[in-house]
Amino acid sequence: KKVVMIQRQATNKHTIIHDVPEDLPKIIADEDKVDQILTNLLSNAIKYSPNGGEIRVKAWEEDADHIIFYVSDQGMGIPKEHLTKVFEKFHRVDNTDTRKQYGTGLGLYLVKHLVEAIHGGQIWVESEVGVGSTFYVRLPKVPPAVKEGKEQVEK
């Protein structure tokens, strides 16, 4: 909620819809790093969406061990040939959009690292050019490192 509130203050040109159930289970995670993941995904959605566009943040409990959240936009979309590359270091999607807001190509690379290496989760994107993109993050409720430590203690 905190990240969504901050991003809402950063833009008056987009509608940000927050669809996270109050009873979403808590997870064991680095709160600052999860905030960083959400901040990056939301700021990208804002940056690449037209004024007046809708950005949606939704989360749910997938199963007993995982939660999923996504950030979707109504932006320019990502061509299919770039979908597997957007998380690579320094990769930027080349497009003919006249807006001069392009990043360094490090944001999604960092997000992928935070999701996978730090939290043991997964990240992926679904996109259609001219329609928008949805970035999904799947996180374990208990990261593998914590689970392994608990198993070691029990032995």
3-state secondary structure of 58: strand
Closest CA to 41 of 28, 25, 29, 57: 57
- pLDDT at 88 > cutoff 90: no
3-state secondary structure of 18: strand
Q: Which sequence spans correspond to the domains of the chain?
A: 2-154
Comparing 30-39, 71-80, 91-100, 115-124, which segment has the lowest mean pLDDT?
A: 91-100
**CATH class of residue range 2-154:** alpha beta
* pLDDT tens-place string over residues 14-72: 888 889 999 999 999 999 999 999 999 998 998 888 888 899 999 999 999 999 999 99
